[in-house]
């Protein structure tokens, strides 16, 4: 028999930590206690929407997190990404796809992650694009596209203001 998925086990633990019975959780979800018992105890897959619904009730949300190799020194990796970041910024600004591809083409996920950290540190505090790095991670499902459109309009307005001021 397959064991219960670790995410489902964590949600069951969250229910128990709150002192809620399966019946209480069922009432809050507008489900039957039997449905909650099946959700918590049956091996196999669950609908993603159901898992998200239960997680949201406990103030949680699902997220995909890159796996970090325990042997990777992220600080050293970020230091190694300063030069590529300094090359990448003007290449992106000049809209030079060949140079951008040349810089990031051979990078793996960990290098790209470190590069993102370095690039985020280069964004001036008054630049509305800073919100891209600080607020995006707080978005729930389905909000990324709206956030992206909002950020593009805010950045365009900020750049227009800078052009008019100079």
pLDDT digits (tens, 9 = 90+) for 93-141: 677 788 878 877 877 777 777 777 666 666 666 665 555 555 544 555 4
How far apart are the C-alpha atoms of 108 and 72, rounded to whole Å? Answer: 13
Element holding 98 (H helix, E strand): helix 97-104
pLDDT recorded at residue 151 = 60
Q: Where are the domains of the chain?
A: 6-57, 74-165
Rounded CA gap, 159 and 89, in Å? 16
Which overall architecture, per CATH, does domain 6-57 show? Orthogonal Bundle (1.10)
Per-residue confidence (pLDDT) for residue 30, from 0 to 100: 92
Ranges of residues in the chain whose predicted pLDDT is under 50: 136-137, 141
SS3 of residue 122 by DSSP: helix
pTM attached to this predicted model: 0.41
């Amino acid at each position: 028999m397959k064991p219960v998925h670790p995410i489902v086990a964590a949600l069951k633990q969250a229910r128990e930590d709150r002192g809620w019975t399966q019946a209480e959780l069922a009432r809050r979800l507008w489900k039957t206690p039997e449905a909650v018992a099946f959700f918590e105890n049956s091996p196999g897959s669950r609908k993603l929407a159901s898992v998200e619904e239960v997680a949201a009730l406990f103030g949680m949300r699902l997220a995909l997190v890159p796996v970090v190799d325990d042997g990777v020194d992220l600080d050293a990796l970020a230091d190694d990404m300063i030069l590529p970041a300094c090359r990448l910024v003007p290449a992106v600004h000049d809209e030079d796809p060949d140079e951008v591809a040349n810089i990031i083409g051979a990078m793996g996920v960990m290098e790209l992650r470190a590069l993102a950290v370095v690039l985020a540190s280069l964004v001036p505090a008054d630049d509305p694009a800073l919100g891209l790095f600080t607020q995006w991670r707080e978005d729930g499902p389905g909000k990324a596209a709206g956030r992206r459109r909002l950020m593009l309009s805010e950045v365009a307005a900020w750049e227009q203001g800078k052009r008019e001021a100079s």
